[in-house]
Amino acid sequence: MESFLIKGGVPLRGEVTISGSKNAALPIMAATLLTDEPCVVRGVPELSDTRFMAQILKSLGAATKFENGTLGVRAKKIQGYADYNLVRKMRGSICVAGPLLARLHKARISLPGGCIIGARPINLHLKGFESLGAKIKIEGGYVDASVKKLAGATTFLGGRAGSTVLGTANLMMAATLADGVTVIESAACEPEVVDLANFLNAMGAKITGVGSPTITITGVKKLHGAEHEIIPDRIETATFAIAAAATNGEITIKNCRPDHLRAVLDKLNEAGVSIQQSGAALVVRRGKKLSAADVTTLPYSGFPTDTQAQMMSLLVLAPGISIITERIFESRFMHVSELARLGADIEIEGPSAIVKGGRPLSGAPVMASDLRASAALVIAGLAAKGQTQVNRIYHLDRGYERMDLKLRKLGARIQRVEEK
């Protein structure tokens, strides 16, 4: 396995270009299964997750070509069985179920894998399929779904932690070829859902209301091929903005969507970070000093859970007490013990982390537990004095395209090495 070796204490300076959104790309890649005509998707980040999804499409019978961020897919003749050995590698693979059910009227999908950050059941996905008339059976670690013909219905997709992003995407894709009208209540409002709907509409779907809690899909008989450009990754944008502030640097972030990041930018301002917007670019630098801030993760347009760990790495540097409350996943503080190895003073009380900030960090070996925790440890290592080794960065490679190369261009002393 590989790790990052970081010699911290260097302010990040320069320009970085944001890649396409991983969380938008995966369901859009799955959506190419809805038609037998060619599709071209540009701006696909080259990550382990997108490579796995391309392999899944190929295993289902689609012809794929993925190079230089452009994916070409033609799913002329496909089969409805997604094998465990591929699907187990990431949770996002479950989003092939909706397209398979819509086009083939059957799907056999292994229960998915991914980061261990708390319970993320797919019950709302299955509830949505059942509302359209599908029969569901779970046996031997597989979900079997079948239906003679999907029929439009009204479905409520609210869950314990709010709406489900992948569940909304899955049901929306299935409903594009259903008879009649489907209404999704308590739908996810994330930009990635909007991006998927834009691609589906380009394929001939009839979807309205995206970006709101009520999405309406009028089924059509057939979808055709289309071309699409993936939106910039808002989580990568936030990660680099936080890294600039944590290292007391100044960077220009290009090809981003500040309108997708209002909650994060607001909290960064509150924490003493200066942010200037110029079109699709942000200039980020630390102000005179960092300040403590309280953060609560919420569904979009609230503060994203996928940026909670990175924000914690910044707030451990801010004098005073910050309280970070996690409302989406119950096991998303696994980075706390690793940050403590670098000198952070953090206590967990229920769903909240109490951060006693202002203590200097010093380098140490740390272990990444999930995708966003990996990014948090990299940020902390960049800010710490001395050398930090972040182990198990395969988690990070699931969601950040060539992060070490981008950081080196900003002046970071970071190397990818084999773990000893």
Active-site positions read 115
- Quote the CA–CA distance of 66 and 72 in Å, as a whole number: 6
Nearest to 56 by CA among 17, 129, 107, 19: 107
Question: CA 160, CA 173: separation in Å to the nearest integer?
Answer: 23
Cβ partners under 8 Å of residue 258, min gap 6: 265, 277, 280, 282
Angle at 216 between CA 211 and CA 222, to 5 degrees: 115
Helix residue spans in 132-214 (DSSP H): 165-175, 191-202
Query: Is 294 strand, coil or helix?
Result: coil
Mark out the alpha helices in 316-410 (DSSP H runs).
Answer: 336-341, 371-383, 394-397, 403-409
Cα–Cα distance for residue pair 417/64, rounded to 1 Å? 31
281-286/250-254 β-pairing: antiparallel
Cα separation of 74 and 278, whole Å?
Answer: 38
Q: Mapping DSSP to helix (H, G, I), strand (E, B) and coil, where does residue 175 land?
A: helix
CA 201 to chain centre: 22
3 state SS of 350: coil
Amino acid code (one letter) for 320: G
Question: 36-65 burial, b for 16+ CB within 10 Å, e for fewer?
Answer: bbbbbbebbbebbbbebbbbbbebbebebe
DSSP for residue 299 = S
Q: Where are the alpha helices (DSSP H) in 186-297?
A: 191-202, 234-246, 262-270
Report cis status (omega within 30 of 0) of the bond before 301.
Answer: yes
In 247-341, which ranges are continuous DSSP H helix? 262-270, 308-315, 336-341
Distance CA 173, CA 161 (A): 22
